[in-house]
């Protein structure tokens, strides 16, 4: 859309005057106006001043197929004409959502997922998982199983339940007290961990032992579920060693604890596998999905449930399995139509193959920058299009970088034609899964030039 100059001035002036931005200080939004994005095409976005950049953020880990996915746009338009809304609360359904639940059961069959519970996004999917986990145990007569364990550094959205299992103080402290009964163990984060262990396989064993220890301390029969991201995303792209999730699965099984994989980022191909659980060869009990389910074009999510969960709920004769949870927009027909088209395109384009190849390219490129720029302390990734560069002020002490540096770097990279995300000391790369080899080279080169310019 071409904005007349007068309109663009109006927009720039008014941005933060009448709204609070998520994940931002309102005073900062007023002092440092954010970039106003007015267009998107392929893997590029265009700002209000007409500058086009490669979107190495992929929207917010969700625009996997880029900004020009016509089949999804068409599906949304068609569904708006046919039925723009109807609820799926008890007694009604819609054709699009029935079709989608069938397709998702097929898609996630290798993960053992057989039912969907539809939501409006990732935080909703997590909240639903936590609630259904408690209810599952209650149906089985295990009323004491109410606690949750999760990883420090993990991100599980911002509802009260999700924030309670989050492992980052930035998303917790201002909103405390959070849900009681939520406990955290160290993340398998080789660069910084309380064990000072840099070997990923050894660290995985230590973190798994910490989980066993916490379960013993709390009492297994008080714990409903363990929740983790198969690769930690917002916490700075932390891929665990390949042995970690399988070990966690065994521990959960041993103690009757449900395993929830939060795949809001990792489902639908981002890791170079169709799900994070599949990447590590594990079958969870529940899988939270959202984001790329509609390519970001419609707020939507699906919590996926295993056979066992479905059996326990569906075979209940006492009424305990009646679900007292759901959203006005659960199973929204327009979201469902968008998801159906998105799933079809995602499979047709076989995005996992490109995500794996381009992911390796970006990771290798970022590692080369580590040799060249002192500011980079650690580079993480290697599993699809999830890469992070952690910035430090001193490599020896790993002292964190000054607060203004990542933002300055982001600015410099943007000038060089690439939008990246900064989250604390991390530069995070999560481009659309359809990027080309050339795009990936451009991303690395813009970061290189940006780092040299500081």
Ligand X SMILES: Cc1ncc(COP(=O)(O)O)c(C=O)c1O
Site for ligand X contains 155 (CB under 6 A):
yes
Site for ligand X contains 265 (CB under 6 A):
yes
Site for ligand X contains 443 (CB under 6 A):
no
Q: Looking only at residues 284 through 323 of this chain, which bind ligand X when binding is defined by CB under 6 A?
A: 290
Site for ligand X contains 55 (CB under 6 A):
no
Site for ligand X contains 233 (CB under 6 A):
yes
Binding ligand X (rule: CB under 6 A), the pick from 55, 111, 229, 378 is 229
Q: Minimum CB separation from ligand X for residue 355, in Å?
A: 16
Q: Looking only at residues 99 through 128 of this chain, which bind ligand X when binding is defined by CB under 6 A?
A: 121-123, 126
Q: Minimum CB separation from ligand X for residue 288, in Å?
A: 6
Instruction: Report d(CA 314, CA 16) in Å as an integer.
Output: 48
Site for ligand X contains 362 (CB under 6 A):
no
Q: Minimum CB separation from ligand X for residue 116, in Å?
A: 16
Site for ligand X contains 234 (CB under 6 A):
yes
Site for ligand X contains 186 (CB under 6 A):
no
Site for ligand X contains 156 (CB under 6 A):
yes
Site for ligand X contains 152 (CB under 6 A):
no
CB nearer ligand X, residue 229 or residue 285: 229
Site for ligand X contains 270 (CB under 6 A):
no
CB nearer ligand X, residue 161 or residue 382: 161
Binding site for ligand X (CB under 6 A): 121-123, 126, 155-157, 229, 233-234, 262, 264-265, 290
């Amino acid at each position: 859309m071409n904005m007349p100059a007068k309109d663009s001035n109006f927009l720039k002036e008014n941005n933060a005057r009448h709204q609070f931005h998520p994940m931002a200080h309102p005073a900062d939004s007023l002092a440092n106006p954010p970039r106003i994005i007015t267009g998107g095409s392929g893997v590029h976005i265009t700002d209000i001043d007409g500058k086009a950049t490669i979107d190495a953020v992929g929207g917010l880990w969700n625009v996997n197929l880029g900004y020009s996915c016509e089949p999804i746009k068409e599906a949304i338009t068609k569904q708006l004409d046919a039925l723009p809304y109807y609820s799926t609360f008890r007694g009604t359904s819609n054709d699009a959502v029935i079709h989608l639940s069938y397709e998702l059961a097929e898609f996630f069959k290798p993960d053992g997922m057989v039912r969907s519970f539809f939501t409006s996004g990732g935080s909703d999917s997590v909240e639903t998982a936590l609630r259904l986990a408690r209810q599952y145990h209650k149906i089985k007569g295990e009323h004491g199983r109410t606690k949750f364990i999760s990883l420090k550094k993990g991100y599980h959205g911002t509802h009260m339940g999700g924030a309670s299992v989050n492992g980052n103080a930035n998303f917790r402290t201002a909103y405390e007290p959070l849900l009681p009964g939520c406990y955290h163990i160290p993340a398998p984060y080789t660069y910084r961990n309380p064990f000072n262990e840099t070997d990923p396989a050894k660290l995985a064993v230590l973190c798994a032992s910490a989980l066993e220890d916490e379960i013993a301390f709390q009492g297994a029969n008080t714990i409903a579920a363990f929740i983790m991201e198969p690769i930690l995303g917002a916490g700075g792209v932390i891929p665990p060693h390949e042995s970690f999730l399988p070990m966690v699965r065994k521990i959960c099984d041993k103690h009757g604890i449900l395993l929830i994989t939060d795949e809001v980022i990792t489902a639908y191909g981002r890791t170079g596998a169709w799900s994070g659980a599949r990447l590590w060869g594990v079958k969870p009990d529940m899988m939270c999905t959202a984001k790329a389910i509609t390519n970001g074009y419609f707020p939507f999510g699906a919590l996926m449930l295993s056979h066992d969960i479905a059996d326990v709920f569906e075979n209940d004769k006492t009424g305990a399995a009646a679900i007292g949870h759901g959203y006005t927009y659960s199973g929204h027909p327009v979201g469902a139509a968008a998801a159906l088209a998105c799933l079809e395109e995602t499979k047709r384009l076989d995005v996992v193959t490109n995500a794996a190849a381009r992911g390796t390219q970006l990771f290798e490129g970022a590692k080369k920058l580590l040799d060249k720029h002192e500011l980079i302390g650690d580079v993480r990734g290697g599993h699809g299009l999830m890469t992070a560069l952690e910035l430090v002020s001193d490599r020896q002490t790993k002292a964190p970088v000054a607060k203004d540096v990542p933002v300055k770097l982001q600015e410099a990279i943007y000038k060089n034609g690439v939008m990246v995300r900064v989250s604390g000391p991390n530069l995070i790369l999560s481009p659309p899964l359809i990027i080309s080899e050339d795009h990936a080279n451009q991303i690395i080169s813009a970061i290189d030039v940006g780092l040299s310019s500081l």
